[in-house]
Amino acid sequence: MDFVKTLKAENIAGLDFVGGKITEFPREIMNLPHLRYLNLNSTSISKIPADIGKMVDLEILYIRATGITKLPVEIEELTYLRELNLEFNDKLTELPAEIGKLVDLEILYISGCNLRSIPPEIYNLTNLRRLFIDCNELTELPPGISKLVNLEELSIGFNKLNTILPEIGKLPNLRKLWATHIGAPSIPDELAALKELRILSLSSNKIREIPDWMASLDKLDELYLGGNFITEIPASLRKRLVDGSISNYSVADVSNIKADIIVTQLPKKLRGVM
C-alpha cells in the first residue's frame, strides 16, 4: 500500500481494490480521515478487522465475493454508512445484531451468502430503500418488516421460507417485490394494499390461484408467475392483459396454464408466445 503514503491523505475520498490480489484488509487506509467510498469486491480478504469502526466517514462499503466469515460488531460505528454490499460471501452465515445501528443505511445487499437467519434489529434501519436477501438459507423472516416504511425494493427469493410474509403488505412505498423460488403455496391477500407496486415476481413457487385483487394494483407493470400451478386467470386480470396496462407479461410466465385456458382466456397477441 505504498501508494497511500505518496498521496495526500486528506484528499482521498474513495478507494477501489476490486479484483485485486490483496489477502488482508489494508490497514494503512485506516488513517485516511475523509474516506467515504471503499470497494473490496472480489478480493481474497477473509477477515474484517474491528478497527473498521474507526473509518467513521465511510458512506459506501462494498465487500462482495470475498472470503469473510463474519462482520465485526464494530460495524455499528459506521453511522454515516448509506450503502453496504455483502453479496456472494458464501462463508458468511450470520450478521451481528449491531448492524441495526446503521440507521442512515439506504441500500443493503446480502444476497448469495449462507445466512440461516437475519437479526430482527435489521428492521431498525427505517431509511432502507432497497433490501436484497435472496439466495440464502433463510427458513423464516422475523416479524417486524413493516417497520421499513421507506422500503421500495425487496428481494427474498431462493430461500426456504415456504410462505410470503403477509406483513409485507404493510410496506406503503414498496415498488418492486421478488419472491421467486421460496415454496410459497399462495399469494396473501395483504399484498393487495401495495398500491405503489410496479414489479411483482412470484415465479417458481407452488401457487395455484391468482387472487382477483391482483388487477387492482393500478401501477403494476411487470408480473411474473412462471413455474407455478396456475390453471386460470381471473377475468379482471385478463382485461388488463388485453388493454396492455401490464406491459411485461407473457403466456410463458404462466407456463402451467392448460392449453384450452390459453385459447379461451388470453388475448390473441399473447397466445403465440408459447
Strand 130-132: give its sheet, edge to edge.
14-16, 37-39, 60-62, 83-85, 107-109, 130-132, 153-155, 176-178, 199-201, 222-224
Instruction: Band the pLDDT of 21: cuts 50, 70, 90.
Output: confident
Instruction: Band the pLDDT of 273: cuts 50, 70, 90.
Output: very low
Question: Within 13 Å, how many C-alpha atoms sit on residue 96's CB side?
Answer: 15
Task: Give pLDDT, residue 259.
Answer: 44
Buried/exposed 130-153: b ≥16 CB within 10 Å, e otherwise: bbbbbbbebeebeeebbbbebbbb
The Cα diameter of the chain in Å comes to: 72
Q: How far is C-alpha 243 from the chain's CA centre?
A: 31
Query: Tens digit of pLDDT for each residue in 89-147?
Result: 999 999 999 999 999 999 999 999 999 999 999 999 999 999 999 999 999 999 999 99
Say how far apart CA 274 and CA 271 lie, in whole Å.
Answer: 7
pTM for the predicted model, two decimal places: 0.90
Q: Does 252 score more than 80 pLDDT? A: no
Report strand pairing: 14-16 vs 37-39: parallel
Say how far apart CA 25 and CA 85 lie, in whole Å.
Answer: 16
Domain spans, the chain: 2-226
CATH architecture of 2-226: Alpha-Beta Horseshoe (3.80)
Instruction: Band the pLDDT of 274: cuts 50, 70, 90.
Output: very low
Q: Which amino acid type is present at position 96?
A: P
